[in-house]
Amino acid sequence: MTPDQMWKLIGIGSIVFAACTLVTAFLLWRWNARERRREQAVELMMLMHDWGLGWLASAFLAYAIGNYLGKGSIAQKLYEVARLLGDTSQVAAKRRHFVFSLAKYYREHDQATAAELVAVLQASSDDTKTTK
């Protein structure tokens, strides 16, 4: 092997090594971004659970663990939501449950926001009385 061939081989090896390093760095960066999204989904799941929305929290848990198909999956939750949207009485019941759960959460954790909610509801009640 001549010195020229050796330097060409070293140059090609260096380029391949640099390309592999860049690809590995890119893949690790994307992996970390996905893991951050999953951590945020867990945080949202815990918040939804605190608000009394366990039925919605399970969708965030399914996303966080990567359960896209099958029992307890995101696909199943989407199906349940689509079925729910077809029944207006169920939509109203879920909306009512959400509002009451949120009000209870704020009553227990944030008195200032709870007071704002009471003020909004009282103003709404006063508006309804004046329009009748």
Tens digit of pLDDT at every position of the chain (132 positions): 788 888 888 888 899 899 989 999 998 888 888 888 888 888 988 888 887 777 778 888 888 888 888 888 888 888 887 887 787 888 788 888 888 888 888 888 888 888 888 888 888 766 656 555
End-to-end CA distance of the chain: 99
The range of the structural domain enclosing residue 27 comes to 3-131
Evaluate if pTM is beyond 0.85: no
Task: Write the CA distances from 72 to 35, 38, 93, integer angstroms.
Answer: 20, 17, 22
The total of structural domains in the chain comes to 1
